[in-house]
Chains A and B, each alone.
Chain A
Amino acid sequence: MTRVHDMGGRYGDGPVDPGGPDDPVFAQDWHARALAVTLACGSLGQWNLDMSRHARECLSPKDYTRFSYYEKWMAGLADLLVGNGVLTKADLAGQGDDMPHPLATRSMKPEAVAGIIAKGGPADRPYSEQPLFQPGQTVRTRRPADNRLTDGGHTRLPAYAAGATGRILRHHGAHVLPDSNAHTLGEAPEPLYTVVFKAEELWANPEHPRDEVTLDLWQSYLRPA
């Protein structure tokens, strides 16, 4: 079954508000702080990007829906900090001590910020086997779209594209598999492909007969069709 974040294709959300060209990067000062605290905590090295995405996805549907974007980040971060033993619940409740933390030596220093941002964290990995699929080949996505390693776990196959037939557009080499990496089961790199689907394959009433949707999908999400 899906989680609340998996909303592609959902009905009922109303118009998109495009904002204006002069909107600030951060609508509120605390948005900027929330982003910065999250990035700085990531440098402690206690979780990876897939775990942080999964933490936000694990918010209850009620919280996920009522929280604004950066509130989700804050809630996900608080849950990661406690879930990975960096902080205790007493710390979050303001009842902890102020002793220097064993991980404090890893804290992100101001002079290191530019380098860390510029370095990034590439997701491609060496892979010795031949990819199973080639551009132009027809494939079908697995259904249901659930994680096959951990019940209720993280996956990047959206429900709207489960069980759909598409065509391989591009092979990106092997990338870290989020379904595994989000659950500390290892990076388990697999070939990653861009797969293109006709809109009519995904939707009962597509807007236009030639419209298409592409997704980036790992090899284990796909079968020959």
Chain B
Amino acid sequence: MPHDHHDHDDPHALLPPEPALRVKALETILTKKGLIDPAALDEIIDAYQNRIGPRNGAMVVARAWSDPAFHAALMKDATEVVADLGFFGRQGEHIIAVENTDETHNMVVCTLCSCYPWPLLGIPPGWYKSDAYRARAVREPRKVLANFGVNLPPESSVRVWDSTAEVRYLVIPQRPTGTDGMDVDALAALVTRDSMIGTGLAKAPS
């Protein structure tokens, strides 16, 4: 296990300083020893670039808006419900859905690292992993929301979920008005990634 080091004897300092070269060097060393297979790396990247992303979560939200039985089951045991849809796995083994209402706005952060519900939302965006978001979201969520163009009325309270364990949170944004009669696919198109983290709202229908 790693211990505290002085700068000069950190193993990582032995790799080239430029980040892209550093990754390349490590990949080359590991590949030559047979410890990693570059074709497996391509598969991992393809999965997170093209298949596992916020459209998964948007489908869950749209169904929750449309189907009261699905909504009830999701709020009771989201892990089981989303697993039935095929959204289970790495960084999404324990899922809780939290619902925005007129009274409460939910917002998710990981102050200690970058925990995020990968099977539902994919790889977290850069801002979610930024020092500014991690530092500020718990202490001044309303000012952070303003950075996203979201201004909450004073009558609503904010509940910030700091993801300190292996439980991952999916925010169910409020269903926009003017969407009666829209089908699940049309509703899902209104559900943005940020609305499921709680830094945005669902889009109004055009």
Contacts and interface: CB of A to CB of B under 8 A. Distances in A.
A78 B111 contact: no
A89 B133 contact: no
12 contacts: A36-B41, A81-B11, A83-B3, A100-B33, A110-B42, A118-B90, A183-B1, A192-B165, A194-B167, A207-B140, A213-B162, A215-B162
A203 B23 contact: no
Given A36-B45, A98-B32, A7 B93 contact: no
A121 to B, nearest CB: 6
B112 A212 contact: no
Contacts of B43: 110, 113-114
Interface string A117-143: 111111110000000000000000000
Contacts of B24: 30, 33
Contacts of A27: 126
A213 B193 CA distance: 21
Interface residues of B, number: 92
A1 interface: no
B204 interface: no
B44 A78 contact: no
Contact of B37 (A14, A56, A108, A183): A108
A41 B109 CA distance: 27
B36 to A, nearest CB: 4
Given A41-B30, A71-B22, A119-B89, A82 B11 contact: yes
B19 A160 contact: no
Contact of B123 (A25, A56, A103): A25
A187 interface: no
B40 A40 contact: yes
A83 B11 contact: yes
Interface string B85-96: 000111111101
B159 to A, nearest CB: 5
A130 B157 CA distance: 33
Contacts of B48: 25, 32, 35
Contact of A37 (B27, B33, B193): B27
Nearest to A119: B89
B29 A16 contact: no
Contacts of A13: 130-132, 135-136
Contacts of A19: 125-127
Interface in B12-50: 12, 14-15, 19-20, 22-27, 29-30, 32-37, 39-45, 47-49
